[in-house]
Structure 1
Amino acid sequence: MSRMKVELLHIHKRFGAVQANRDVSLRVEAGTIHGLLGENGAGKSTLVKILSGFLRCDQGEIWIDGQPVRIDSPAAAIRLGIGMLHQDPLDFPSLTVLENFIAGQRGRLGLGLRESRKRLEKACEEFGFNLNPDGAIGSLTVGERQQLEMLRLLSLGINTLILDEPTTGISAAQKDLLFAALRRLAEQGKSVI
């Protein structure tokens, strides 16, 4: 079981005259689910984009398992075990579900198609997702695209999953599946923000 503690310490971020984050600290223990709440413009998205490498903070530190780290790109965040699932998932519409699942795998050819298909099918079964590996991304709902992106990030070895407004634009049934999947991740020792 993977365990990872993430700490954001005294994070500051400014966009010109706008102070998006002022001295924000957050500790995320392994196996926990955290909800960031606040009105529009409160700095929630800015904070998680800093943690996931999409933005750099002006001041402050990020620590993983008691060690300071530098996260200067989404790829660096993934290498450290942190992945972000965006409100509009980042996928490749011209590729199949399986090809999108493989995207970003380490190595020249990743695991190969056969092994990747097995991993995708096993992950879908584990979380109760119904994704056709040969299906086109364009035929998926927003919720199904989120499911695929979550499985892709997990296949890359993330231990902390960040979701940005994950329930926007998905059905009640997909929300139930999502929340069940998040609880399962927490049971596995992963953390969710």
Structure 2
Amino acid sequence: MATITRAWPLDDITVRRSGDGRTVEAYCALFDDEYEVQDTHGHYMEIIDRAAFDHALSQGLTRTSVLFNHGMTVHGTPDAIASVPLGTPIEVRPDSRGLLTVTRYNRSALADATLEAIRHGDITGQSFRGRVYRSSPTRVPKVRPGAALPTVVRYELGLTDYGPTPVPVNAEPMMVAVRSSGVRSGAEWLERIRALCVDG
């Protein structure tokens, strides 16, 4: 079975003055919203069905991790620091818009730097990764030059991990709130994380 990773830009980040600023609410997927994808499966339009995560969520969240950029560098290579979980999923549920995640961030240099970057708008994406269990059509059709892109509907997906990413692909806003209390690029952000984890 194939695995897909999808990321969207964040927008309208609201810092609420309740709690201690370590609970983050964010969408990691949008439902019924067609968007263009070009990946190892082909070039196509994709729609995530509202019930796509129902089976995965019925299994509980014990196997779902919260990772920065799926534990990868901005160049797509494994990163030991980014592979350390940022926090614990408190709630993951579908609503009328998409898959809403509520996460309690850990007290660690990695989580602190991530929260700071989210608050300042330096983190620009929220993403999920999961296996594809059921789609229509099952395989992405080949596209003839000049022809319209085919549409693939994802009816059942897994949820291996989700979390913030500095390299969003899709075009919808996803971050809802950081319940509260000048890095500008993904590479600079990771360098800052490494410095905090080593020096801190």
- After TM superposition, the score normalised by the length of structure 1 is 0.26
Richer in helix (by share): 1
- After TM superposition, the score normalised by the length of structure 2 is 0.25
